[in-house]
């Protein structure tokens, strides 16, 4: 693994050195602008590994508070009291890699994902309603976030692109301003043409054109928001990217570290409050601890119960957990306007839409929830065969309720997990 300690040290100090003044500024803005959110949760991060985990190394064998910390999650042990491991949850959905897109939505048909429901609730307070992040250039099927219209949101896989989106202004602002202004004039022109067509057309045609006018108004609102944020300065951060983007598949773990750093900065600067992160996997052969693993990552996930492959598969899982622990530390040290650690008001969902990669089985999805004011510190098991069984959607319901949203059902779930988590 590459040595990234220099930058890590800086990030560890981020809560004290940078985030505080910045968030105070945002806190002032919040108090004057938007209505204060009613629920205790303010932020949501959903990070999932495309190739899943070896389940016996992810789920503890004991339930309740006194459980042995599972090896694949090892680096997260320091947050034991701030997280909950949940087993037995899934969507009762389809098997195979296609089930990935159902992870946050419960639907392989492109239903809305719950992070986007949350973004609809808190998104208008920040520069970006939500961010979709990945490493490199995974296929479209790896996208996680779906709008209410069923659009799979594209992901940013290059650290330099994400950084520029969040923190760079200047050179292209003029171009963006020009595009915004001309887009408005284009829309005005389009409306004028549609009005001309409307003249003398029948009622059904007018109905069809009515859709068009409604869509124009919606785009105008969106352009308005973009223009408003264009006039506000971007946050200043002291963060140095590497000279090149580590986006080649064999550097994916390195890319993952940087992406978590940027996610932490995005949340600390209140640039967005909702992030989904697809941690992809191909056939790349990772080298961990100076040793090439016994097979490519995808090959390891199809371990065939071979002990060496399982061990190596979990080594990769541990690296994912280590990087997530970095984000949790960042969120624990950065504070909001009231001096609370961001982690106290951030829900972090970690796991996978892939249950058992070896057999492409999507039952019992690996699931961890960290942060927020939940009753943590336990391994919560749900019996899939019990009469009052629970679905992964029940967790989403509870998380959404944590944002003060009045949600009772999602993805087939109708109960929530409040009795265990709240």
Nearer to another protein, 245 or 261 (CB): 245
One symbol per residue from 147 to 166: x for binding another protein (CB under 8 A), - otherwise; what is it? Answer: x-xxxxxx--x---------
Stretch that binds another protein, among 120-128, 277-285, 395-403, 407-415 (CB under 8 A): 277-285
Q: Which stretch binds another protein (CB under 8 A): 8-16, 63-71, 198-206, 335-343?
A: 198-206
What would the DSSP string read from start to end of 239-288? Answer: ----SS---SGGGHHHHHHHHHHHHHHHHHTTS-SEEEEEE---S---EE
Interacting positions 246-275 with another protein (CB under 8 A): 246-251
- From candidates 70, 106, 136, 351, binder to another protein by CB under 8 A: 136
Question: Total binding residues for another protein by CB under 8 A?
Answer: 73
Task: Output 211 or 406, the one with its CB closest to another protein.
Answer: 211
Per CB under 8 A, which of residues 293..312 are in contact with another protein?
294-295, 303-306, 308-309
Applying CB under 8 A, among 37, 71, 282, 373 the residue interacting with another protein is 282
Measured from the CB atom, the residue of 198 and 420 that comes closer to another protein is: 198
The tokens describing 204, both together, are 């059904």
> Among 82, 91, 143, 323, which residue interacts with another protein (rule: CB under 8 A)?
143
Listing DSSP states for 299-361 in one string gives HHHT-TT-HHHHHHHHHHHHHHHHHHHHHHHHHHHSB-TTS-BGGGGEEEEEE-S-SBTTTTB
Residues 338-397 that bind another protein (CB under 8 A): 356, 358-361
Q: How far is the CB of 219 from another protein (least distance, A)?
A: 5
Does 292 participate in binding another protein (rule CB under 8 A)?
A: yes
Stretch that binds another protein, among 66-74, 287-295, 330-338, 410-418 (CB under 8 A): 287-295
DSSP 137-171: ---GGG---B-TT-PBPP-B--HHHHHHHHH--ST
- The string of DSSP codes covering 350-390 is EE-S-SBTTTTB-SS--EEEESTT---S-EEE--TTSTT--
Minimal distance, residue 282 CB to another protein, in Å? 7
Beta carbon nearer to another protein, 336 or 356 = 356
Residue 176 sits in the site that holds another protein (CB under 8 A):
no
The total of other beta-carbon atoms located within 10 Å of residue 422's CB is: 13
Interface positions, 85-104, toward another protein (CB under 8 A):
94-96, 98-99
Q: What is the C-alpha to C-alpha distance for residues 325 and 263, in angstroms, rounded to an integer?
A: 13
Q: For the packed helices 252-268 and 307-333, what is the interaxial angle rounded to 10 degrees?
A: 20
Cβ of residue 123: shortest distance to another protein, in angstroms?
A: 14
Closest CA to 97 of 46, 48, 50, 146: 50
Provide the β-strand partners of residue 64.
Answer: 379
Task: Choose which of 140, 231, 238, 406 interacts with another protein (CB under 8 A).
Answer: 140
Rounded alpha-carbon distances, angstroms, from residue 349 to 48, 223, 278, 366, 393: 8, 31, 12, 10, 13
Measured from the CB atom, the residue of 32 and 305 that comes closer to another protein is 305
Residue 106: CB atoms within 10 Å: 22
Q: State the Cα–Cα distance between residues 370 and 327, nearest whole angstrom.
A: 11
**Choices 7-15, 37-45, 72-80, 201-209 (CB under 8 A): range interacting with another protein:** 201-209
What CA–CA distance (Å, rounded) separates 419 from 417? Answer: 5
The span of 24-32, 36-44, 186-194, 265-273 binding another protein (CB under 8 A) equals 186-194
Does residue 123 interact with another protein by CB under 8 A? no
Q: Is 207 among the residues that bind another protein (CB under 8 A)?
A: yes
């Amino acid at each position: 693994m590459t040595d990234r300690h220099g930058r890590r040290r800086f990030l560890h100090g981020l809560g004290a050195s940078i985030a505080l003044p910045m968030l105070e500024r945002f806190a002032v803005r919040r108090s004057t602008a938007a209505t204060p959110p009613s629920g205790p949760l303010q932020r949501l991060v959903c990070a999932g590994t495309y190739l899943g985990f070896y389940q016996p190394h992810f789920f503890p064998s004991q339930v309740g508070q006194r459980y042995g910390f599972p090896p694949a999650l090892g680096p997260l042990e320091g947050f034991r009291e701030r997280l909950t491991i949940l087993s037995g949850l899934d969507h009762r959905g389809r098997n195979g890699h296609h089930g990935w897109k159902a992870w946050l939505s419960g639907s392989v048909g492109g239903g809305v994902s719950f992070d986007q429901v949350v973004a609809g609730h808190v998104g208008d307070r920040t520069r970006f309603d939500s961010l979709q992040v990945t490493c490199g250039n995974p296929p479209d099927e790896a996208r996680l976030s779906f709008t209410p219209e069923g659009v799979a949101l594209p992901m940013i896989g290059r650290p330099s692109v994400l950084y520029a989106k969040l923190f760079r202004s200047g050179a292209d602002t003029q171009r963006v301003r020009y595009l915004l202004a001309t887009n408005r004039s284009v829309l005005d022109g389009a409306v004028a043409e549609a009005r001309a067509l409307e003249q003398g057309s029948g009622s059904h045609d007018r109905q069809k054109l009515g859709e068009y006018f409604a869509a124009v108004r919606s785009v105008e609102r969106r352009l308005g928001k973009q223009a408003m944020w264009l006039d506000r300065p971007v946050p200043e951060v002291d963060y140095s990217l590497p000279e090149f983007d580590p986006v080649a598949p064999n550097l994916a773990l390195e890319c993952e570290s940087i992406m978590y750093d940027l996610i932490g900065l995005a949340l600390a600067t209140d640039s967005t409050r909702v992030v989904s992160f697809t941690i992809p996997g191909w056939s790349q052969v990772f080298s961990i601890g100076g040793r090439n693993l016994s097979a490519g990552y995808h090959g390891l996930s199809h371990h065939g119960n071979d002990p060496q492959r399982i061990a190596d598969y979990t080594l990769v899982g541990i690296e994912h957990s280590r990087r997530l622990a970095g984000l949790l530390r960042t969120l624990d040290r950065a504070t909001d306007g009231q001096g609370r650690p961001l982690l106290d008001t951030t829900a972090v969902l970690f796991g996978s839409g892939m249950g058992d990669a070896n057999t492409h089985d999507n039952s019992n999805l690996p699931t961890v929830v960290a942060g927020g004011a939940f009753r943590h510190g336990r391994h919560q098991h749900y019996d899939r065969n019990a009469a009052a069984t629970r679905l992964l959607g029940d967790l989403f319901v509870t998380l959404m309720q944590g944002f003060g949203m009045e949600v009772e059902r999602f993805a087939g779930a109708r109960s929530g997990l409040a009795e265990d988590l709240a």
